[in-house]
Amino acid sequence: MLKKDLIEAVAEQTGLTKRAASDAVEAMLDAVTGALKSGDSVLITGFGKFEVRQRAARTGINPKTLEKIQLPATKVPAFKAGKALKMAVK
């Protein structure tokens, strides 16, 4: 499903115009992004939890030269599915 498909589904299920549904989807994505940027997690009950995880520094390999390189520690976004979502997919 693409973003435009999600917007169409939201518009269809809520009776909103596609423009209003697009604004709602964009606002939700901006809110999640903003929370993750500030280090907060976002819990959507019944769906899942978005959070920022710390990835430790590690040794990697350059695929072109096969040379070992040191990869720095970094923050990465992560999602953990909630129980209701897991059961729906099962």
Q: What pLDDT, on the 0 to 100 scale, is given for residue 7?
A: 97
CA dihedral 81, 84, 86, 90 (to 10 degrees): -160
Distance CA 13, CA 29 (A): 19
In tens, the pLDDT along 42-52 reads: 999 999 999 99
Number of domains in the chain: 1
Which residue in the block uniquely carries the two structure tokens 């997690």?
41
Residue 48's domain spans which residues?
3-89
Beta bridge partners of 51: 78
Bridge-based pairing state of the strands 48-55 and 74-81? antiparallel
The predicted model gives 59-75 an average pLDDT of: 95
pLDDT in tens, 7-31: 999 999 999 999 999 999 999 999 9
CATH number of 55's domain: 4.10.520.10
pTM of structure: 0.82
